[in-house]
Amino acid sequence: MKGFSARYLEVDLGSGDISIKELEEELFRKYIGGTGLAAYLFLKEMDPLVDPLSPENPLMFMSGPLTGTSFPGSGRSSVVALSPLSGLWGECNVGGSFGAAVKLAGFDGIVFKGRAQGPVFFWLDGEKAELRDASHLWGLDAYETNERLQEELRGDGGTVRTMQIGPAGENGVRFAAIVNEIGSVAGRCGLGAVMGDKNLKAVAVRGGGKMVYADPEAAKGLSKKLADKLKNHLLAGTLHELGTNGALDTGMLSGDVPVKNWSVGEWMDALDTLNSFYYNDNILVKIIGCYACSVRCKRVVKVDEGPFAMHEHAGPEYETVCLMGTNLMNPSLEAVAKANDLCNRLGLDTIAMGSVIALLMEAQEKGIAGEETTGLDLSWGNMEAALEAIRLTAARSGFGDRMAEGSLALATKLGAPELAVTVRGMDFPAHDPRGFHGYGIAYTLGTRGACHLNAVNLLVEGGMGSWPEVGLKGPYKGMTSKGKAEITWKCLSIGQLFNSLCMCQFIGAFLNLNDQVDMMRAATGFDWTLDELMECGWRIWYLKRHILNLRGSGRSDDVLPPKALTPTEEGANAGSVPNMEKMLAEIYELAGLDADGKVPPEKVEI
């Protein structure tokens, strides 16, 4: 098949057996790939009711039909498993080059089952696959692990791509991440803990093959056309020059940025030292990009001296600058960079870790849990203590053992669950539904909890993208709940589509959906239509929602936390809160969900 290999590797870590599983063409037509195909396989081949930290929970590394192509934005891949943080569906969409390497090795994904008796890593060299002992890697941080694997596996030539965990994953931190080499992270849902529970330290791949297109000439012409379009696109150029953190200034002015554990509407002073111009002038070393990306928005940074000195490595994105910066009342970008580097090395989600620290800072301020409880002086902005909290969490040492359970579990144990800002146990990304009301239902109906990637409301309401070809014309007023259900219903489909294509959502926003159709046709040879792809998006969302339902999650979990429903007194979103009852009633009707939030049986196609 073109665009697809029509097969994946299944690795039984308990027995050591490795087998090739064939896939029918029709599955790709209905579920596309990435998280969509993973959801189908999960329901069809596996038990959706198992414990996330059990051998029976499968860990899937999946690619999409455009992964490995020359099309811009196609260098991403998906990681899927049940989440140890939420106990529900978990997925990550990660950049870099790992997914392309798997595709060029001839597979659409790798599925790991069972648990190895001791530390192992998986090595895929072209079509040669094997499990190897990883005792010498266990205990190393994620960057050290990548370096050791590169030294060990490069001997025969060709680039080696890796995904690995750090000590946090080994120690079962419920928001542990999986690190793709050094610059990209599968951060959310705690899938690094699943990998650690399986005693799987790393996955290393050398592709070696070539991408085959159904229509090579169309693909060649389309790649050039899209590259030219991005070259002349204002927002694409801005993203390259400023990185994702370029959204900080406009976000603060529009009521989108979390401040002081989501309790304050703005903190303008922070912009002096956290903005992208300061970033570029003071810590930026160079700009890099993911596989086949012409925009190149990723940052490499270095802090030469001072308490937050760090070697040259991956720099913080917007989310981390907010969750380790504004939300902690920390104005030091150097401290944010150090926290980001430490989390990457130890294998921790910066969003979840920052959220844990923020709630403890508020708890200390309010006298709920101070230094006598945590062993740390977590005053607002104390980044030396915050860095120590990160180390303790990754090691599950002392109070770090409680932090490692995640913000909602921690806040509940402290008797103050209202300090946690989560949906379905997953922490908010750095985007405030009080400033953009549609985010509220995007978070509650997101299939992994609070998430800005399961639906594309961030792009549409935030003004970064519009798709008039499906009726999303914009611009839209952020602080209103009117009409947001209809917008979000379409945004849910597009979000699922991008996550199944494994397409970068920024690139998707800069292009149009008909460009996506053209890329799909050139790669696969399927006579896709835009309407058909939108139906695929909804079909995939229904499958994932059904998995939530099977695990006991429905209408009672479609709620925002108290902080998101408490108006701020200052800033752009002062006095604004989303009308969740109105929006949920409207989108339930559009989706056909029953009063308990369950998917109609006829919508579950497996």
pLDDT at 496 over 90: yes
For position 151, what pLDDT does the model report?
Answer: 94
C-alpha–C-alpha distance, residues 124 and 129, integer Å: 4
- What are the b/e assignments for 83-121, b being 16+ CB within 10 Å? bbbbbbbbbbbbbbbbbbbbbbbbbbbbbbbbbbeebbb
- Mean pLDDT taken over the chain: 96
pLDDT confidence tier of residue 158, bands split at 50, 70 and 90: confident
For position 1, what pLDDT does the model report?
Answer: 62
Average confidence (pLDDT) over 349-377:
98
| Residue scoring higher pLDDT (1 or 484) | 484
pLDDT confidence tier of residue 181, bands split at 50, 70 and 90: confident
**pLDDT digits over 183-222, tens only?**
899 999 999 999 999 999 999 999 988 889 999 999 999 9
**pLDDT digits over 269-306, tens only?**
999 999 999 999 999 999 999 999 999 999 999 999 99
pLDDT confidence tier of residue 182, bands split at 50, 70 and 90: confident
Q: Element (H or E) spanning 388, and its range?
A: helix 383-395
Domains located in the chain, CATH noted? 7-206 (3.60.9.10), 258-422 (1.10.569.10), 427-603 (1.10.599.10)
pLDDT confidence tier of residue 401, bands split at 50, 70 and 90: very high
Strands 109-113, 184-186: pairing is unpaired
| Residue scoring higher pLDDT (606 or 372) | 372
For position 154, what pLDDT does the model report?
Answer: 86
Average confidence (pLDDT) over 29-36:
96
Strands 18-22, 7-12: pairing is antiparallel
For position 155, what pLDDT does the model report?
Answer: 78
Token pair recorded at residue 28: 């790709």
Return the beta strands (E) in 47-114 as ranges: 59-62, 77-82, 89-94, 109-113
Strands 128-133, 120-125: pairing is antiparallel
pLDDT confidence tier of residue 127, bands split at 50, 70 and 90: confident
Neighbours of 195 (CB within 10 A): 27
Residue pair 449/456 in contact by the 8 Å Cβ criterion: no
Neighbours of 598 (CB within 10 A): 16
The conformation of residue 267, written as its DSSP 8-state character, comes to -
pLDDT confidence tier of residue 47, bands split at 50, 70 and 90: very high
Question: For residue 112, what are the contacts with CB-CB under 8 A and spacing of at least 6?
Answer: 11, 13, 58, 59, 60, 122, 198, 200
Token pair recorded at residue 416: 């103050």
For position 544, what pLDDT does the model report?
Answer: 97
Average confidence (pLDDT) over 94-121:
96
Amino acid identity, position 407: S
pLDDT at 489 over 70: yes
Average confidence (pLDDT) over 51-59:
97
pTM of the model: 0.97
**What proportion of the chain, given as a percentage, has pLDDT over 90?**
95
C-alpha–C-alpha distance, residues 428 and 50, integer Å: 26
Average confidence (pLDDT) over 442-461:
95
